[in-house]
């Protein structure tokens, strides 16, 4: 049985809430359960690492946790001693490239899957927790050596999933159409579309949809399925 403990947010910013506020209870429950006093923050999805660290530290400090930026120390040593890891949003390609360049992909996997420290991801941080980043919404502004990600779960997630607006004059492809195009590939993985305010909580071999909005599940050769909050999605962990 996996020791993984994951909280995968569609976004850290949701309309009507302050930064990370909508997920505050889930974040605190996860960290308190593991007696974590500090959180290692990975800011590589944005260019301004220090500014990002200050923004993230504000809510975590308010909740009583110390936040350390991985960019302020030796990255490998920081991961090895981390009590919990939070990877924030931004550009997924930039983030994954940094994780590869710093050679910490396998080290993070070990800390999460074997040592069982909590992992919190938001947006790009959620993308890199999955099997691959094929279903990110971001532009490929840099090129990582692989699209394969941390593989903390055996399927993909599409954060910020948007439904088509019936009255819209936009005639381009919808988010659903793009995901279905990905699923035409034989080696594609299932995709969980997380609307803003939706969160996937994984505890070992159990997965539950949390948050304040539904998700949409895409599987190859099947009709998309609406998933209600509090639904058991443990079967997705079997691949």
Three-state SS for 128-152 is CCCCECCCCCCCCCCCCCCCECCCC
Alpha-carbon span 132 to 100, nearest angstrom: 13
Alpha-carbon span 158 to 178, nearest angstrom: 11
Judge whether residue 193 has pLDDT over 70: yes
Q: Chain-wide mean pLDDT for the chain?
A: 95
- Residue 167 confidence (pLDDT): 73
Note whether 127 and 91 are within 8 A (CB): no
Q: In a 3-state reduction of DSSP, which class is residue 76?
A: helix
Judge whether residue 171 has pLDDT over 70: no
- Catalytic member of 11, 138, 188, 203: 138
Q: What is the mean pLDDT of residues 136-165?
A: 95
- Catalytic member of 11, 12, 132, 160: 160
- Residue 67 confidence (pLDDT): 98
Range 152-189 burial, b when 16+ CB lie within 10 A, else e: bbebbbbbbbeeeeeeeeeeeeebbeebbebbeeeebb
- Give the global pTM: 0.95
With a pLDDT cut of 90, the percent of the chain lying above it is 91
Note whether 68 and 38 are within 8 A (CB): yes
Looking at per-residue confidence, does 63 or 167 come out higher?
63
The residue length of the chain stands at 239
Alpha-carbon span 68 to 95, nearest angstrom: 17
CATH number of 5-238: 3.40.50.880
Is residue 160 part of the annotated active site? The answer reads yes
- The angle at the Cα of 234, spanning 184 to 25, to the nearest 5 degrees, equals 110
Judge whether residue 73 has pLDDT over 80: yes
Judge whether residue 173 has pLDDT over 90: no
User: pLDDT per residue over 119-146, tens digit each?
Assistant: 999 999 999 999 999 999 999 999 999 9
- State the DSSP string of 91-107: -HHHHHHHHHHTT-HHH
User: pLDDT per residue over 175-191, tens digit each?
Assistant: 999 999 999 999 999 99
- Catalytic member of 123, 132, 134, 188: 123
Is residue 29 part of the annotated active site? The answer reads no
């Amino acid at each position: 049985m996996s020791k993984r403990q994951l909280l995968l947010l569609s976004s850290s910013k949701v309309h009507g809430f302050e930064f990370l506020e909508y997920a505050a209870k889930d974040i605190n429950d996860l960290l308190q359960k593991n007696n974590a006093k500090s959180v290692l923050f990975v800011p590589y999805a944005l260019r301004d690492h220090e500014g990002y660290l200050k923004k993230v530290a504000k809510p975590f400090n308010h909740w009583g946790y110390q936040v350390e930026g991985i960019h302020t120390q030796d990255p490998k040593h920081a991961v090895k001693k981390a009590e919990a890891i939070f990877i924030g949003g931004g550009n997924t390609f930039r983030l994954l490239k940094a994780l590869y360049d710093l050679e910490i992909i396998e080290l993070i996997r070990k800390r999460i899957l074997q040592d069982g420290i909590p992992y919190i991801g938001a947006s790009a941080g959620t993308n890199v927790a999955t099997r691959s980043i094929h279903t990110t919404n971001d532009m490929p502004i840099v090129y990582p050596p692989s699209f394969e990600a941390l593989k903390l779960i055996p399927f993909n997630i599409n954060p910020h999933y948007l439904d088509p607006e019936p009255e819209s004059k936009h005639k381009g492809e919808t988010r659903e159409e793009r995901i279905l195009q990905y699923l035409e590939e034989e080696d594609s993985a299932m995709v969980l579309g997380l609307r803003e305010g939706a969160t996937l909580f994984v505890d070992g071999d159990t997965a539950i949809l949390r948050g304040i909005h539904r998700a949409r599940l895409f599987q190859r050769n099947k009709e998309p399925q609406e998933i209600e909050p509090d639904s058991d999605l443990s079967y997705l962990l079997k691949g």
